[in-house]
Structure 1
Amino acid sequence: MPLTIRQLRYFVAAAESGQVSLAAVHLNISQSAVTTAIRDLENLLGVSLFIRNTQGVTLTDRGRHFLNHAYQVLRTVDDALNLPHSDENASGRIRLAASYTVQGYLLPYHLQRLNQWYPNITIDLFEFERAEIEQKLLDDSIDMALVLTDNLTDEAIHSERLFRSERRLWIPAHHPLQQKAHLTLEDVGKEPFIMLTVDEADLSAMRYWQHKGMEPNVILHTSSVESVRSMVANGLGVAILSDLVYRPWSLEGRRIDTRSLDDVVYPMSVGLAWHQDKEFTPAIRAIYDYFREVYLTPEQHVQRKG
């Protein structure tokens, strides 16, 4: 029986969620399909990838090792499926800025592909906070930016959303909130809360808290995503952050689980921004078309869901 990409995707989903049932929800398939795929994968490899218990599933040592390889294989497959139509004749220079979250968790992957597909385009890369990005777009210090589009304020800045990243509750493994059938901000409000501040994450968070007329029980404001990750993993508090920055393990190797909330928690929107009067050069147009094709082409959305 050959190894399949589907088995790898189901295995990764279960490893990241810590529950087969939750993986099935995220994949929009039946729980039995995930269970069967993982069992077939374990039979093929001849090892146990998970420890099963009433709380969910936990990776074995072999499972953790295999997860790293699974990530590499799936990244390679995604590269092959989502290749943009390159224009080898495109040339020029673009001054591209990104905010912290986009720079750290999204852009490096695309920069490698852009360098490969557009070798005659020079990308001058900058990292700024949102307010500085807006100002530099207005005074033409930069050409285009990848930002959290919901945070933009100046009407002269045109933006186009590429995708949304859902915000979910981060909790340590086996936290009591994991057992609740329905989970609301009122439940979260009783817990110590770690508030991320980078990229105006605290301002975004307060929008949905204030919508409910509530405030979180904040015990720490921090600009470090890794600090949030470690604090949550070690049972010192909970957080609500986007899937874009989620990783299932802290630096100490402790697990972090996620749960969707029944209350409205606005997703994080990531997209392109430029001055409304900006004239697109061939280089700017090529980069613009690249991101639109990767994220907005319907056929590629279907491929990524498969």
Structure 2
Amino acid sequence: MALSIRQLKYFIATAEYGQVSQAAVNQNISQSAITAAIKDLESSVGVPLFSRTTQGMELTASGRQFLSHAYEILSKIDEAMHLNFIDSDIQGELVVAATYTVIGYFLPLHIERMRRLFPKIRVQLYEMNRDAIEEGLLTNRYDMSVLLTSNIMNPLITTETLVGSVRRLWVPAQHHLLKYDAVGLQEVAQEPYIMLTVDEAAQSALKYWSKTPYQPNVILRTSSVEAVRSMVANNQGVAILSDMVHRPWSLEGRRIETITVQDQIPAMDIGLGWRAGRALTPAMQAFRSYFQQAFGTPGAPSTKPARSSPSLGGSD
């Protein structure tokens, strides 16, 4: 039996949620349809992809390997379905600065697509913190930046938000708070808390905590997202981080679940930045137009084809 997009979507949902019931809710389909699709998929690939346990569905070693391919297949399909017809003959140099989180979890895929779409544009990429990026934009050291626009307050920097990534509570598998569909910061404050510090994450967290009578019980501050992931997965504490950096498994292969937080927590906004008033070069315009179309932001160029060009699509 040939693989189908539907099977891959149901497989990924089950792998990410670890429960057929939750995957069914996510995909707006019956549990029996999820179960049948996974059974057919396992029959097609010839190996078991999940171990069925009392706690739910756990990926086998083959399942984890297949998950990587499934993500890649759906990404390519998404790319093919979102064709872009911006003139690929644009040429020039573009110096782009990006923050740690953006480079680690958002930008590489788009840089690769940009290079295929605009082979004559040479992109120089630098990782910098927000202060260094702002200074570099104002002195024309960098043409543009991709960063957390929610952190930018400088009126001399023009920003354009592309996407907002919701922040949720991360907990280990079988954590007692998983019995709730949503929790408040009052409940979170009673748990040991792992505080991420990179890209001003701690400052962002304290802004929304300060609006409540509660405060996090911080047992560790770290600049490493992987450290947070491992600490949470190994039942050492909880954390509130964005969906963009969430992965359902730690490096040790332990599961990390997420829970919606009832209190008002701002999303982590990712977007572009450049010096206010600066005239955009053709390369800068192409860079901006790519992201506008990829994320459907206002001002995106028309998709009326002027010539044949490589395809690109949306993102995470």
Q: TM-score, normalised by structure 1?
A: 0.91
Q: Secondary structure at the match of 1:48?
A: coil
Tell me the CA shift for residue 264 of structure 1: 2.0
- Does structure 1 retain, via aligned residues, the 8 Å contact 2:181–2:260? no
Kindly tell me the number of residue pairs found equivalent between the two proteins: 302
How far residue 25 of structure 1 moved from its aligned partner, in angstroms, is 4.2
The Cα of 1:43 is off from its aligned counterpart by: 4.1
Supply the RMSD in Å over aligned alpha carbons: 2.3
Amino acid at match of 2:22: L
Q: Secondary structure at the match of 1:22?
A: helix
Equivalent residue number for residue 115 of structure 1: 115
Alpha-carbon distance change, 159 to 226 in structure 1, aligned in 2, over 3 angstroms: same
The alpha-carbon distance between structure 1 residues 182 and 246, as it changes in their structure 2 partners (threshold 3 A), is closer
**Which residue is equivalent to 2:133?**
133
In the TM superposition, residue 184 of structure 1 has moved relative to its aligned partner by 1.7
2:79 maps to 1:79:
yes
Asked if the contact 1:165/1:267 (under 8 Å) is kept, the reply is yes
Deviations 1:108-159 (A, max 9, x none): 1111111111111111211111122112212222111111111001012111
Give identity over the alignment, percent.
49
Residue equivalent to 1:279: 279
Residue 183 (structure 2) aligns with: 183
Q: Does the residue aligned with 2:183 lie in a helix, a strand or coil?
A: coil
* Structure 2 Cα separation of the partners of residues 94 and 60 of structure 1: 44
What 5-or-longer segments of structure 2 have no aligned partner? 304-312
Distance 1:181 1:121, change over 3 A: closer
Look up the equivalent residue of 2:64 and give its one-letter code: R
Pair 1:102 & 2:110 matched: no
Q: Which residue of 2 aligns with 1:9?
A: 9
Which shows bigger deviation, 48-57 or 120-129?
Answer: 48-57
1:236 aligned partner = 236
Change (3 A) 1:25 1:137: farther
1:30 aligns with 2:29: yes
1:195 aligns with 2:184: no
Alpha carbons of structure 1 residues 25 and 186: separation in structure 2 relative to 1, 3 Å: farther
Distance 1:37 1:208, change over 3 A: farther
Q: Is the 8 A contact 2:183 2:261 kept in 1?
A: yes
Counterpart Cα distance in 1 of 2:238 and 2:17: 16
* Alignment-derived partner of residue 59 in structure 1: 59
State the Cα distance separating 1:164 from its structure 2 match.
1.0
Q: Which residue of 1 aligns with 2:221?
A: 221
Query: Aligned residue for 1:245?
Result: 245
1:223-281 per-position Cα deviation (integer Å, ceiling 9, x unaligned): 00111111111111111111111111111222211122222222111011111211111
Letter paired with 2:286: A
In 2: Cα distance, 1:211 partner to 1:139 partner: 36
Return the alpha-carbon distance in structure 2 between the equivalents of residues 129 and 304 of structure 1.
Answer: 26
Distance between the aligned counterparts of 1:173 and 1:81, measured in 2?
35
Q: 1:21 to 1:207 in 2, by over 3 A?
A: farther
Q: Is the 8 A contact 2:100 2:198 kept in 1?
A: yes
Match for 2:87: what amino acid?
A: D
Asked whether the 8 Å contact 1:148–1:270 carries over to 2, the reply is yes
CA contact (8 A) 1:17 1:258 kept: no
1:196–1:125: structure 2 CA closer, same or farther, 3 Å change rule? same
CA distance in structure 2 between the aligned counterparts of 1:21 and 1:279, rounded to whole angstroms: 52
Q: Measure the CA separation in 2 of the matches of 1:120 and 1:292.
A: 20
Structure 1 residues 81 and 114 mapped into 2: Cα distance closer, same or farther (>3 Å)? same
Identify if the C-alpha distance between structure 1 residues 83 and 198 changes in structure 2 by more than 3 Å, giving closer, same or farther: farther
Say if 1:203 and 1:21 are closer, same or farther in 2 by CA, change over 3 A: farther
How many angstroms apart in 1 are the aligned matches of 2:182 and 2:295? 32
Amino acid at match of 2:249: W
Contact 1:143 1:278 in 2 (8 A): no
Q: Higher mean Cα deviation, 100-109 or 259-268?
A: 259-268
Output one character per residue of 1:32-74: Cα deviation in whole Å (capped at 9) or x when no partner.
3434433432344454322334533211233223212212212
- Change in 2 beyond 3 A, CA 1:24/1:304: farther
Using the alignment, how far apart are the partners of 1:115 and 1:40 within structure 2? 38
Distance 1:248 1:105 in 2: 14
Query: Match of 1:211, SS?
Result: coil
| C-alpha distance in structure 2 between counterparts of 1:89 and 1:25, whole Å | 45
